[in-house]
Amino acid sequence: MTSVFIGGSRAVSRLDSLVRDKLEDFITRQCTIFVGDANGGDKAIQHHLASRRYERVTVYCMEHCRNNLGNWPTRHIAAPSARAGFAYYAAKDLAMARDAKCGMMLWDGKSKGTLNNIQQLVNAGKKALVYLAPNGTFYKLSTEQNLRDLLQHCDRSAIRQAQHQIGTRLPAADLAASR
């Protein structure tokens, strides 16, 4: 059974028909879904899955779950030394990226967390399907080159800012920023 890490930017709080259709495909294929507990994309994904009464879902949380709309099983992730901020929630996302076979991200083209998730999946050699919300298009990523190509559709200053906030060098972001 395929396990899919599905996440999204907090700014992406509504699912258009392309995204809903892809979620329906995962349901039809009986994929196991790993989703976070944040507002925005995570909550919208949870709402859709709960409305379909889909049961093959695990919600990843830190100490407590902010959202679990389907009352699904949870996986609590041990907090790093920081108790808030990017590193705190990135620990949960990293666990989902490790546990899943592949991922689907709903990205606003700016969110550092979603960009980090995409990078984690690609670095682990896992396929990522990225819905770039500003242009309403899905992109299939499995290589660093695919990520570079995706970043060409994003605002360079937003990518540089995300890279700075993540605190790690994203090789794909370096190339996108230089063009």
Residue 168, pLDDT score = 56
pLDDT tens readout for residues 160-173: 888 887 775 544 44
Band of residue 8 on the pLDDT scale cut at 50, 70, 90: very high
φ and ψ at residue 42, rounded to 5 degrees: -60, -45
Domain of residue 68, CATH code: 3.40.50.450
Whole-number pLDDT of residue 171 = 47
Is 117 among the domain residues?
yes
CA distance 154 to 97: 23
pLDDT average, residue stretch 174-178? 43
**Residue 155 falls within a domain, yes or no?**
no
Tens digits of per-residue pLDDT, 12-51? 999 999 999 999 999 999 999 999 999 999 999 999 999 9
Instruction: Indicate the pLDDT class of residue 179, thresholds 50, 70 and 90.
Output: very low
Q: Tokens at residue 51, please?
A: 């409305």
pLDDT above 90: percentage of residues in the chain: 75
Q: Among 17-26, 75-84, 101-110, 126-135, which is the least confidently predicted range?
A: 75-84
Residue range of the domain that includes 32: 3-143
What total number of domains does the chain contain? 1
Give mean pLDDT, residues 64-72.
Answer: 96
Residue 148 lies in a domain: no
Label the pairing between strands 137-141 and 128-132: antiparallel
**At residue 94, does pLDDT exceed 90?**
yes
Q: Where are the alpha helices (DSSP H) in the chain?
A: 17-28, 41-51, 86-99, 112-123, 144-151, 156-166, 171-178
Q: Three-class SS of residue 5?
A: strand
Beta-carbon contacts of residue 170 (< 8 Å; ≥ 6 apart) = 115, 119, 159, 163
Q: What is the pTM of this model?
A: 0.90
Strand partners for 102? 4
In a domain, 159, yes or no: no
Confidence (pLDDT) at 79? 81
pLDDT at position 176 is: 43
Instruction: Determine, yes or no, domain membership for 154.
Output: no
